[in-house]
């Protein structure tokens, strides 16, 4: 199996690339495809929450993010144009 990550400019582009028509939810596409939407990364700064805890300041990454696993391993059926190679894969996926 081959896991691939994608960053699209927006959800509409992602839906079109995976062949989802309006009104169809991502979850119905496949248990092998997970739409994350916005992903966040720490800016290196911290702030204090309502309880006084120090927490990292998070910033949204550009794009609409999707992870997909190709059970056949080739990945040819997924949209190569939007494929990205993250340094740290999403936790808890598949």
Give 42-88 pLDDT, tens digit per residue.
999 999 999 999 999 999 888 999 988 866 655 566 778 888 887 76
pLDDT digits (tens, 9 = 90+) for 5-46: 899 999 999 988 888 888 888 877 776 888 888 888 899 999
Range of the domain at 15: 2-84
Total tally of structural domains belonging to the chain: 1
| Residue at 94 is within a domain | no
pLDDT computed for residue 94 by the predictor: 41
| Residue at 91 is within a domain | no
| Residue at 93 is within a domain | no
pLDDT computed for residue 84 by the predictor: 85
| Residue at 92 is within a domain | no
pLDDT computed for residue 69 by the predictor: 80
| Residue at 90 is within a domain | no
Total-model pTM: 0.68
Would residue 23 be called left, alpha or beta, if left means φ above 0 and alpha means ψ between -120 and 50 degrees? left
| Residue at 74 is within a domain | yes
């Amino acid at each position: 199996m081959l896991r691939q990550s994608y960053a699209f400019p927006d959800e509409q582009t992602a839906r079109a690339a995976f062949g989802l028509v309006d009104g169809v939810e991502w979850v119905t596409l496949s248990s092998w495809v997970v739409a994350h939407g916005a992903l966040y990364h720490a800016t290196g700064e911290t702030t204090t929450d309502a309880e006084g805890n120090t927490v990292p300041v998070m910033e949204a990454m550009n794009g609409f993010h999707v992870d997909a696993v190709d059970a056949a391993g080739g990945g040819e059926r997924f949209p190569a144009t939007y494929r990205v190679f993250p340094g740290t894969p999403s936790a808890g996926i598949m």
